[in-house]
Structure 1
Amino acid sequence: MNPLHGTTGQPSTTEGLVPEAHGYGYVAPSEAPPARPVASTPPAPDKPSQVPSKASETHSEPLIEFITDAPAEATEVPAESATASVVLSPLLPNIGTSTMARLLHLPEVPVSQDVPDDAVRLLVVEASEKGMAAVFSHIDRLRAQLPEAPGSVTSLESIGGILVIPADSKRTPRTVKLKLKVLSGAHPVLMCPWIPALASRLCDDEALAKVAEARPVATALKKLTAQIEAAVG
């Protein structure tokens, strides 16, 4: 059928031809330009389904958990020893206080110098009439600074005890013993044994250490140390 007239007719003259590139006519297949290959586009990968994660739905906690140091638990600090520190304060020079301080491993502090409130001061005197006069005079000066009127020997908080060093290897005079007995009624009186190193004024630490290692001296120092701890403890 002829599409223009609606009747049947001869076959169209365009049969066997191909349309030109511009679309306005027909040409023989041999005259048509070669067709360009169409680049094929790879199929797009399937997108994952947008399913909300359970973490974002259920809670808003961070995905990264930081580890921090936990605060240390409070620990009890052991209480320090109740025994106060002890210092030696000589009332007379050249009586062996420095040597005794080195033997007992205690500091030597002048009597005119203040000491901490928790320290115990031991007055160092010589077992002689001169030493007794010095200690009684010192006690009277301390008592004169107090509001009470001076009187008999009484206890003073600033005096933790009295360390008595023998004047020589001989026996202590009777009058000195009586005065030491009076002092012992108010303050602890500690009698230091006779040690030759006290009279020789040793300054060499090595020589003094050898003296302290001798059995009689070591025993005497051990006993004296125990008496000091008992008096101030």
Structure 2
Amino acid sequence: MRAFTQLQGLAATIPGKNIDTDQIIPARFLKRSRTDPDYAKYLFHDLRFNESNLADPAFVLNQPAFSRTNILIADENFGCGSSREAAVYALEAFGIRAVIAPSFGDIFFNNCLKNGLLPIRLQQSEIDILSRPDPEAGNARIRPHQPISMFVDLHTCTIQQIQSSKPLSFSIDPFWQECLIKGLDEIDLTLSYQASIDVFEAKHLSTAPWLTHSHT
């Protein structure tokens, strides 16, 4: 999978609690190949397009200022619902590399990690700080269609607005942190330690040679 170390980009806010995977990518698109050049269009398709397949100019990701969005700010329980990995594929096809939310659907959260997309859990109060036009002052939240630049550092597990001097910390399982930084899935990461595994096994068997003997 694609490695994730640091990310600087544009964040878009997707309002609404409990946005499920069927809203992220409708079921009728699940059999489409990931090589389909239109795969990015399937992201939030029924929210972004009308029955005539015309783009809704009011939807944030349809606006020119957000054409290069690579960070999403979402609400509670984002990615709930069915366990369709295609929801992550659609986000990646659009260019999304990180999603920030107070909580996620469990299966969706794990699918993100397995595909190189960083899910960041923050308290709502922290998201409010990130979402302010000026994070250093004031208490007005960002308007849903107002772009904002952010920087994510997976090495230090911090995120901040570009113009802010106060990064916020987030947590991630150290195993998945290493997988993402190295761009390796679970099997690849394990195999990357093959030399160390071989040394351990050789040492272990030298002290317990009977383990290699068959018994009848």
Tell me if both proteins adopt one fold, taking TM over 0.5 as the criterion. no
Bigger Rg, structure 1 or 2: 1
Greater helix share, structure number: 2
Structure with more strand by fraction: 2
With a CA cutoff of 8 Å and minimum separation of 6, indicate the structure with the bigger relative contact order.
2
Q: TM-score, normalised by structure 2?
A: 0.31
